[in-house]
């Protein structure tokens, strides 16, 4: 079962249902919806299931202090919980929250783990078929695992040697580079996907999920080759949103499992996974002297400060600093 939003009756009177409907009306991603709902439910449960309308600064401050002191969460996690509560009160309930006083989490933000180039190659060489090409795209283009699995054939532009990344975090769209060494592999994968599509059409299927209201605006678009996923799933599955039997993209979890297994077999003693390829992509570009603004654009970061963390990841020896004992 792939990750889809649960259906909600529009006339539901439940608080969380109405909150979810409001979030969807703002066109927030499903991951943001799940994150906000998780922290809002945690806040309600912490305060013994009291309705948010009956709570205010005191309850918010107690919850945030609990996260900092008892749960020892990082400052980013505490900030995410605060953002969820502020969104609920300010945007959904139209109630301003001011002058909060609580203990900020002091657990420092961790530097991202990165592969060396040899480590990245070792992990990639331990993969095959779709997971291998997915890993090459994450390392060679800086894609997230979700962005990689959701690529469609129309997103691969061989004429301009670039890849368009859509349905991304924050529902933004960006353009990234296409590594020359991947062109033939991508052409082969496009051909393979189209052959699968032809077989599905022959079997009476062949439609694919379309984002937003495109399926209503263009009823036949779901059967067009350009809309098919670059990495189709092995088998058909029932779309819980519509009950239609169709082929979705390969699951993120299946690729993540293969990557984790390859990391273990490569004897890499780092806390690493699919996202490590994206961190490694940014680090390699920075080591090669690429401008930080260009890296920000390729990664799709809204704020340059998010990209600047890679300045701390680049090794000290790359900056010309040498230990005294090495003289």
Q: Please identify which of the residues 132, 144, 248, 279 carries the catalytic annotation.
A: 144
| Contact yes or no for 168/147 (Cβ under 8 A) | yes
pLDDT of residue 219: 83
238: phi then psi, degrees, rounded to nearest 5: -80, 125
DSSP E strand stretches across the chain: 156-157, 162-165, 174-177, 237-238, 245-246
| Contact yes or no for 233/205 (Cβ under 8 A) | no
Cα dihedral 248, 249, 252, 253, rounded to 10, equals 50
Q: Is 169 a catalytic residue?
A: yes
249: phi then psi, degrees, rounded to nearest 5: -85, 165
Q: Is 284 a catalytic residue?
A: no
In sequence order, the 6+-apart residues with CB closer than 8 A to the CB of 50 are 44, 59
The tokens 């945030």 sit on which residue? 64
Kindly tell me the burial class for residue 112, based on how many C-beta atoms sit within 10 Å of its own C-beta (0-12, 13-18, 19 or more): middle
Determine the length of the chain.
Answer: 327
> For residue 107, what are the β-bridge partners?
74
Q: Is 275 a catalytic residue?
A: yes
| Contact yes or no for 195/228 (Cβ under 8 A) | no
Smallest CA-to-CA distance from 148 within 224, 254, 231 is with 231
Q: How far apart are CA 209 and CA 228, in angstroms?
A: 9
Smallest CA-to-CA distance from 16 within 24, 266, 168 is with 24
| Contact yes or no for 158/112 (Cβ under 8 A) | no
Helix axes 252-265, 129-141, angle to 10 degrees: 90
| Contact yes or no for 297/174 (Cβ under 8 A) | yes
Q: How far apart are CA 220 and CA 225, in angstroms?
A: 11
Q: Please identify which of the residues 132, 278, 279, 284 carries the catalytic annotation.
A: 278
Domains recognised in the chain with CATH numbers? 15-92 (1.10.150.130), 117-253 (1.10.443)
Q: Please identify which of the residues 166, 169, 175, 260 carries the catalytic annotation.
A: 169
Q: How far apart are CA 320 and CA 45, in angstroms?
A: 52
pLDDT of residue 114: 93
- Taking only the tens of pLDDT, the chain with its 327 residues reads 456 677 788 888 999 999 999 998 888 888 889 999 999 999 999 999 999 999 999 999 999 999 988 888 888 889 999 999 999 999 999 999 888 888 777 666 678 899 999 999 999 999 999 999 999 999 999 999 999 999 999 999 999 999 999 877 666 789 999 999 999 999 999 999 999 999 999 999 988 888 877 878 888 888 999 999 999 999 998 887 777 889 999 999 999 999 999 999 999 999 999 999 999 999 999 888 888 999 999 998 888 888 888 887 776 555 556 667 765
> For residue 165, what are the β-bridge partners?
174
Q: Is 90 a catalytic residue?
A: no
The tokens 């918010």 sit on which residue? 60
Q: Are strands 162-165 and 237-238 parallel, antiparallel or unpaired?
A: unpaired
Write down the pTM of the prediction.
0.79
Q: Is 166 a catalytic residue?
A: no
In sequence order, the 6+-apart residues with CB closer than 8 A to the CB of 17 are 8, 9
pLDDT of residue 1: 43
pLDDT of residue 321: 61
Smallest CA-to-CA distance from 82 within 47, 35, 129 is with 35
CA 251 to the chain's CA centroid: 13
pLDDT of residue 289: 86
Angle at 279 between CA 303 and CA 193, to 5 degrees: 100
List, as own/partner pairs, every contact residues 96-99 make where C-beta atoms lie below 8 angstroms and the sequence separation is at least 24, other chains included. 97/56, 97/57, 97/60, 99/57
């Amino acid at each position: 079962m792939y990750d889809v939003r649960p259906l909600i009756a529009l006339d539901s009177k439940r608080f969380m249902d109405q909150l979810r409907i409001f979030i969807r009306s703002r066109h927030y991603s499903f991951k943001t919806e799940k994150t906000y709902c998780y922290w809002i439910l945690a806040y309600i449960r912490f305060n013994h299931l009291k309705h948010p309308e009956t709570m205010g600064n005191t309850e918010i401050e107690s919850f945030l202090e609990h996260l900092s002191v008892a749960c020892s969460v990082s400052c980013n996690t505490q900030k995410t919980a605060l953002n969820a509560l502020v969104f609920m009160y300010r945007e959904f309930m139209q109630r301003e929250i001011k002058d909060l006083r609580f203990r900020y989490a002091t657990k420092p933000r961790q530097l991202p783990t990165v592969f060396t180039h040899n480590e990245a190659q070792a992990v990639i060489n331990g993969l095959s078929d779709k997971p291998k090409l997915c890993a090459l795209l994450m390392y060679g283009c800086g894609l997230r695992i979700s962005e990689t699995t959701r690529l469609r054939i129309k997103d691969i532009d061989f004429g301009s040697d670039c890849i368009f990344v859509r349905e991304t975090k924050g529902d933004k769209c960006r353009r990234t580079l296409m590594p020359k060494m991947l062109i033939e592999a991508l052409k082969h994968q496009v051909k393979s996907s189209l052959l699968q599509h032809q077989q599905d059409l022959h079997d009476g299927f062949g439609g694919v999920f379309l984002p937003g209201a495109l399926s209503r605006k263009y009823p036949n678009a779901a059967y067009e080759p350009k809309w098919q996923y670059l990495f189709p799933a092995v088998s058909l599955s029932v779309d819980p949103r519509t009950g239609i039997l169709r082929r979705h993209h390969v699951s993120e979890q299946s690729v993540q499992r293969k990557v984790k297994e390859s990391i273990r077999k490569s004897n890499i003693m780092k806390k690493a996974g699919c996202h490590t390829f994206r961190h490694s992509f940014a680090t390699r570009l920075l080591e090669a002297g690429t401008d930080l603004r260009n890296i920000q654009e390729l990664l799709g970061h809204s704020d340059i400060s998010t990209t600047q963390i890679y300045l701390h990841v680049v090794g000290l020896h790359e900056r010309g600093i040498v230990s005294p004992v090495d003289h």
